[in-house]
Amino acid sequence: MGIVIFDGVAYGMLLFLIGVGLSITMGLMNFVNLAHGTFAMVGGYAASVLMSRAGLGFFPALAAAFVAAALVGAVLEFLFYRRLYRAHPLDQVLLSIGIVFVSIAAFTWAFGPSMQPFTLPAVLQGQVSLAGLQVGRYRLFMIVAGALVLAALLLALGKTRYGAMVRAAVDNQRVAGGTGIHVQRLFFLTFTLGCGLAGLGGALSLGMLGLEPSFPLKYLVYFLIVVCVGGAGTITGPFVAALLVGIVDVAGKYYLPEAGAFLIYVFMIAMLLLRPHGIVPRKGLS
């Protein structure tokens, strides 16, 4: 029981890392972005290739994954996304499905359709004893990393000037623009940060989910569930939702392996029925 919750929390942290950027994109810019998994994949492949071909260590590779995904996100934002902030959601869906398709094809062409090889660094191998439980070091590291990112994001959003600007723009974009906030630049920076975090999550997922070119489609629903169940535009919402999804999914795989992913979809629909605007709804929606 304890180990199921622990593994579920570790998995949830991973989903949170990848999903939190999507939550901000959807909440701040009202952009229905189905291509978020692509940025996670970019980060994962960057880390994997740097480690296997350039001999980089695991921790520098994580940083590189963040940078690579953020760069790709910045370029795509500049080229495509910024033109569609006010467009119909259908256009946004089509654009992001297009990006997903192109990225899957390009990564298959460049790296082949098989799963990327990955070996954990020696520090994170094996298990440690924690309060009577034998837990994997890698999962423990993931939980610590997720908690650190959560704390940093909450501090940045709650205490800094940039965070205040983001909160203002999420609550009311027009008024925020009227007070002199450069909303377009804010979007750009936030989108880039969200993509970087997704890249970090993608790199961390190498040892847990495995990485292959179909990653953006395979886990698309999971990222969307985290955002929708949690409530778009918040940080704590996706965090709570990601932990719930992680625990439900892992528990399902332990106790009801024949149900497969079925449980998680039922969970999502039930949650959307109970709380249509998410666990932590944005101000002005509830």
| Binding residues for other proteins (CB under 8 A) | 26, 32, 34, 80, 83-84, 87-91, 93-95, 97-106, 108-109, 113, 217, 220-221, 224-225, 228, 232, 258-262, 265-266, 268-269, 272-273, 276
Q: Helix/strand/coil (H, E, C) string of the chain?
A: CHHHHHHHHHHHHHHHHHHHHHHHHHHHHCCCCCCHHHHHHHHHHHHHHHHHHCCCCHHHHHHHHHHHHHHHHHHHHHHCHHHHCCCCHHHHHHHHHHHHHHHHHHHHHHHCCCCCCCCCCHHHCCEEEECCEEEEHHHHHHHHHHHHHHHHHHHHHHHCHHHHHHHHHHHCHHHHHHCCCCHHHHHHHHHHHHHHHHHHHHHHHHHCCCCCCCHHHHCHHHHHHHHHHHCCCCCHHHHHHHHHHHHHHHHHHHHCHHHCCHHHHHHHHHHHHHCCCCCCCCCCCC
Cβ closest to other proteins, residue 91 vs residue 171: 91
Closest distance to other proteins from the beta carbon of 123 (Å): 37
Closest distance to other proteins from the beta carbon of 268 (Å): 5
Cβ closest to other proteins, residue 26 vs residue 165: 26
Closest distance to other proteins from the beta carbon of 221 (Å): 5
Cβ closest to other proteins, residue 1 vs residue 258: 258
Closest distance to other proteins from the beta carbon of 75 (Å): 14
Cβ closest to other proteins, residue 21 vs residue 207: 21
Cβ closest to other proteins, residue 66 vs residue 212: 212
Closest distance to other proteins from the beta carbon of 246 (Å): 18
Burial class, 286, CB count within 10 angstroms (exposed 0-12 / middle 13-18 / buried 19+): exposed
Closest distance to other proteins from the beta carbon of 116 (Å): 17
Nearest-Å Rg of the Cα atoms of the chain is 18
Cβ closest to other proteins, residue 137 vs residue 275: 275
Residue 13: CA count within 13 A, CB half-sphere: 23
Closest distance to other proteins from the beta carbon of 224 (Å): 6
Cβ closest to other proteins, residue 164 vs residue 221: 221
